[in-house]
Chains A and B, each alone.
Chain A
């Protein structure tokens, strides 16, 4: 399995609080991604990174920001969590044109 970890694995928080999810890889892959998965929607891309300090928006980026200060770490921040952001969040990594490999996911509940 690809060396990808996510932390925390589970989190319960309250509306309006900031939340940061971390993705860490040991594969030295250039590309990193954040997805959310919800029933009826499948996996949707939030943000992705194509290098250190290089990021771009995905399909559902509103309410989320990201940062990548090192090759191995990609952070996803919910500045002010809302109930609509309750979801399962997956991080993924890849090289160009290659398959993506996923982390174990973070289950976030916003009350």
Chain B
């Protein structure tokens, strides 16, 4: 059983491209959703929370589809600095804040 599934990639895109990642989760009772970014040999850092209505932060847009149990992340106008692994994260537990992490999708942006 795998609760959070992501395409591992890598996604190779040129600068300026638009790229989208999807993530599926198995527990329909999941409460909250996040995208984290992890650079090589660094800690994961919160990129954005994902709200039911969808949300946007600059070049990044996150969407949630509860009916189909998937989350998406869209990156517009890719920068070299966007190269990283993007982790889809789901909070399955309605009590404590225990998160389940996907294995991540690697993005490589080239000049």
Contacts and interface: CB of A to CB of B under 8 A. Distances in A.
B61 interface: no
Contact of B31 (A42, A90, A97, A103): A97
A67 to B, nearest CB: 18
Interface string B80-111: 00000001000100001111011110000000
Nearest to B43: A102
A99 B96 contact: no
8 contacts: A31-B96, A40-B103, A43-B101, A45-B99, A97-B32, A99-B34, A102-B44, A103-B43
A31 B91 CA distance: 14
Given A43-B87, A105-B43, A31 B102 contact: no
A79 to B, nearest CB: 24
A50 interface: yes
Interface residues of B, number: 19
B45 interface: yes
A24 to B, nearest CB: 15
Interface in A79-108: 90, 94-105
A101 B97 contact: no
A94 to B, nearest CB: 5
Given A43-B87, A97-B31, A90 B97 contact: no
Nearest to B91: A97
Contacts of B46: 99-101
Contacts of A97: 31-32, 91, 97
B96 A42 contact: no
